[in-house]
Amino acid sequence: MKTVEYRHGPVWVIAEQIEGRVRAVSFQLIGHARKLADGLGTPVEVILLGESLDQQAQQVIASGADRVYLGDDPELAVYQPDVYTEIIVKLAQERRPEIMLLGSTFMGRELAPLVAARLRTGLTAHCIDLVLNENKILEQKVPAYGGLISITCPQKRPQMATVAKGVFPRPELDTGRMGEVVLLKVQKNIPRRIETIEIVREEPEGVPLESAAIIVAGGAGASDLEGWHTIAGLAQVMNAALGSTRPAVDEGWTELETMIGQSGKMVSPDLYIGVGLSGELQHMVGIVGAKVMVAINSDAKSPVFEQVDYGIVDDCRRFIPVLIEKIGEYRSEGRELNHGNQDER
Amino acid sequence: MLRIVVCVKAVPDPKEAGRIRIDPVSRALVRADLPLVLNPLDKNAMEAALELKEQFDAHLSVLSMGPPPAESVVTECLALGADQGYLLSDRALAGADAYATAYTLAKGIEKIGPADLVLCGRASSDGSTEWVGPELATLLDIPIVTMVKEIVECTGEWWKVKASLDNGYRVVRVKLPAVLTVTRELNIPRTLSFSGIIQARRKQITQWGIDDLDVPEEAVGLKGSPTIVSEMTTRESKRDVEMISGTREEMAERLIQELADAGFLSSS
Ligand SMILES: Cc1cc2nc3c(=O)[nH]c(=O)nc-3n(C[C@H](O)[C@H](O)[C@H](O)COP(=O)(O)OP(=O)(O)OC[C@H]3O[C@@H](n4cnc5c(N)ncnc54)[C@H](O)[C@@H]3O)c2cc1C
């Protein structure tokens, strides 16, 4: 057996599974971990905790992992904070990873700081990019104050970050890839001070944001609940998913689940229509690769207009009802709006 | 008696915070002297604590780390009904990241005395990492449930709560002492009453610096923070906007035409 000495510890991804299936964000992170690991000349190791995950472990390898630490036990089937933390911390103390990545999911948002504090290391929230600098230190990019800041963790290891789904692409599966699956012995007597007794899944109403082809997003400019309903009405006639900015959530017009951006959802619609929002970077980084972007804002000088393809300066509470009416007319007139000779595409 | 500590943060007014900018040349924070307010989600944590206090005759302390002006949010919490207020303030505490903040708050809680329950807002509006609650729990070596949206059972040693998850929620049993971070859905925060404001005037705020906390300077603030902000870049937008003008009707028609041409209005 040959042993290889690495200058850096491995790059880790803490994978997340729901009902025995590894989540998309975990695969995306493995894809990116591969790049970072190649930059460091070190392996990618994935920690996968759950039950009956043999098949999934193979997919994890095919996505770019060199080694999967698999905890396969009925007790791990759902996220149990104490048990998960203990397993990850113990293994991290042994393997000394250079980098540890988790998805910005509800689980990741709790588990990451639990692990980071135990390891007394730094943790960066909701990164929109992760790159190695010339000193092989991880630059963790986060939008702030109208620009991008880079956060680093120069001394402590691992360098930890959470990343939302959709920031990195899903890697191509390479079923020929070789990798090793290491079964973790699951310690039975980890004291539990928290117990998950039930997980209730609620399917969100309407078109899901992440897979929507059209998104209408509303912001503080909705002004009140009535204004918000007007924007929601546009989403409905456009067969669009309804997204939001943080003020709309703070005002209680909509749920946190609809928030797009750095600390919310990453979306990639074909068409994005932003209504009554200012184009703040923390929101805009959540929109990845939209083909067409439109903004409706009452302030002609709003920075949102520098980030879209079509801009309309108007009070959205007055403009949207007219737009909805005109869409109705357009549809009933068989797509012949103003007698121009547009060719159908 | 149930002993509760609510951790609160003074944040730049979120309604104005968009005005904070980094000067691309000097890299200094350009902020138009924004007023500090109580972090919105901490109001939900306060409300939960006040409801528990009414139910159980609990003792409620409020703890904040921040510059001297942060005293105003502690006063606000006293006016809402907290029994005691603590402000951890020291030049050495400045520049703390989530870990150094959690460490300092943990020291504060240890000095206040054993708490059965520590409540925090899910996130602050300015940092928005969501890390302080879980890291604080770890440093106190007690369990945590994040994103609590309902307290189902709150008697005895094991409490039962509902906490948000992606597309759903989990029902969790948690053993006290514990930390809970709370979401907006948990309750509707009460507003300040006149009598509360009057009563708050009689309550003292205890201020502690690093000597009172007996912590070394290297463990707190910027020095105690594992993460640093190393670089700042401005981002340029890549799109060439076409402004649509005219009457409201004309603008609507133009937009519909553009969207239809791009194939977005095909199905009704
Ligand atoms: C760490 C951190 C993370 C964050 N994460 C996110 C995130 O994930 N997602 C997010 O969205 N935000 C996030 N934010 C908040 C973000 O910085 C902005 O505050 C927010 O996106 C602004 O929302 P807005 O554009 O709706 O509001 P504003 O910036 O207040 O803009 C409102 C706009 O509406 C216009 N307007 C007003 N009235 C009307 C009207 N009648 N008709 C038409 N237009 C009108 C105004 O001209 C203005 O441009 C985060 C902040 C921090 C500090």
Model confidence band, residue A237 (pLDDT cutoffs 50, 70, 90): very high
| Ligand 1 center to A306 CA (angstroms) | 15
Residue B229, strand partner residues? A151
Expressed in percent and rounded to 5, the helix, strand and coil fractions of chain A are 30, 25, 40
CA-to-CA distance for A50 and A74, rounded, in angstroms?
7
Architecture of domain A11-183: 3-Layer(aba) Sandwich (3.40)
Q: What is the pLDDT of residue B27?
A: 61
pLDDT per position as a tens digit, A266-297: 999 999 999 999 999 999 999 988 999 999 99
Averaged pLDDT, A1-18:
84
Q: How far is CA A179 from the centre of its chain?
A: 27
CA-to-CA distance for B38 and A232, rounded, in angstroms?
30
Predicted structure pTM score? 0.90
B2-219 is classed CATH 3.20.20.150: no
CA-to-CA distance for A63 and B80, rounded, in angstroms?
53
pLDDT per position as a tens digit, B90-125: 999 999 999 999 999 999 999 999 999 999 999 999
CA-to-CA distance for B62 and B46, rounded, in angstroms?
9
Model confidence band, residue A143 (pLDDT cutoffs 50, 70, 90): confident
pLDDT per position as a tens digit, B13-60: 888 877 777 666 666 666 657 889 999 999 999 999 999 999 998 999
Examine the pLDDT at B233 and tell me if it is beyond 60.
yes
Q: Whose CA is nearest to atom 24 of ligand 1?
A: A277
- The reply to whether ligand 1 has any atom less than 6 angstroms from the CB of A276 is yes
Candidate of A163, A259, A283, A307 to mutate for ligand 1, largest count of ligand atoms within 8 Å of Cβ: A283
Fold of A209-332: Rossmann fold (3.40.50)
Phi, psi (degrees; rounded to nearest 5) at A141: -90, 130
Q: Whose CA is nearest to atom 18 of ligand 1?
A: A280
Residues of chain B contacting residue A138, judged by C-beta atoms under 8 Å apart? none
Task: Report the SS3 class of residue B182.
Answer: strand
- Report the residue from A150, A198, A314 with minimal CB separation from B248: A314
Task: Report the SS3 class of residue A191.
Answer: coil
Asked if A11-183 and A209-332 have one fold, the answer is yes
**β pairing state of A194-201 and A129-132:** unpaired
- The reply to whether ligand 1 has any atom less than 6 angstroms from the CB of A8 is no
Per domain, the residue ranges of chain B are 2-219
Per domain, the residue ranges of chain A are 11-183, 209-332
CA-to-CA distance for B176 and B162, rounded, in angstroms?
16
| Helix ranges (DSSP H) in A186-264 | 225-237, 246-250
- The reply to whether ligand 1 has any atom less than 6 angstroms from the CB of A263 is yes
Q: From the CA of A204, how many Å to the nearest CA of chain B?
A: 7
Q: What is the pLDDT of residue B34?
A: 83
Interface test with B, best of A111, A135, A195, A278 (most B CBs within 10 A): A195
Dihedral-angle region of residue B221 (phi above 0 means left; psi in -120 to 50 means alpha; beta otherwise): left
Averaged pLDDT, A110-131:
97
Residue A152, strand partner residues? B228
Cβ separation of B139 and A238 shorter than 8 Å? Answer: no
